[in-house]
Amino acid sequence: MAEITRVEPADFDWADEDGPAAVVRRVDRACRATDGAPQLNEQATLGLKRRGLAGAALWLAGDAGFALRHGDQLDLAVAPDERGRGAGTALATAALAGMSKVDAWSHADHPAAARLADRFGVPRARELRIMELPAEVPLPQVAAPAGVVVRTFRPGDEEAVLEVNAAAFAHHPEQGGL
């Protein structure tokens, strides 16, 4: 297993072709290809692109994986060909040291992520379901109830759309404050 190193903010530049940012991108791409999901959500990726490690901490297990902590959020990924060799445990140990609360995402609901979460006492709070349908699949015809008009979005609808979204997702941790 590779040695765990904490990356200094000055050593991280998202645009670098090699170095810490390149490792993060390579591991993310490999995991995405194998698991079908990115290991960094949009918020984390944009943060790294725009602010580097400002307000974040990054640990690397050589080229085998990374742990990114931003606030109480943890993103941890191990390259598929490096899994089962202890890198995930070592990264979690380093990244979770001194933390009393953490929200960790398993972007592909990988069984190894569940085992790490259990080992480190990180409870499963919820599951994210992505519901999608390819655009080429025809939708069945549906009749609108009497008095309901279905139309496309028009300028001026913004407030009503936000009201409906807020009501539909009032219970949701990421959307409830909209």
Model confidence pTM above 0.75 = no
Tell me, what's the pLDDT at 8? 96
CA distances from 40 to 24, 29, 168 (A): 9, 10, 26
User: At CB < 8 A and 24+ separation, what contacts does 144-147 make?
Assistant: none
pLDDT, tens digit, for every residue of 16-49? 999 999 999 999 999 999 988 888 888 889 999 9
For the chain, give the mean pLDDT.
88
Work out the angle at residue 78's Cα, subtended by the Cα atoms of residues 42 and 174, and round it to the nearest 5 degrees.
30
Q: Is 28 exposed, middle or buried (0-12, 13-18, 19+ CB in 10 A)?
A: buried
C-beta separation of 74 from 68 below 8 A: yes
The arithmetic mean of pLDDT across residues 77-91, rounded, is: 93
Confidence of residue 172 (pLDDT cuts 50, 70, 90): confident
The arithmetic mean of pLDDT across residues 130-153, rounded, is: 89
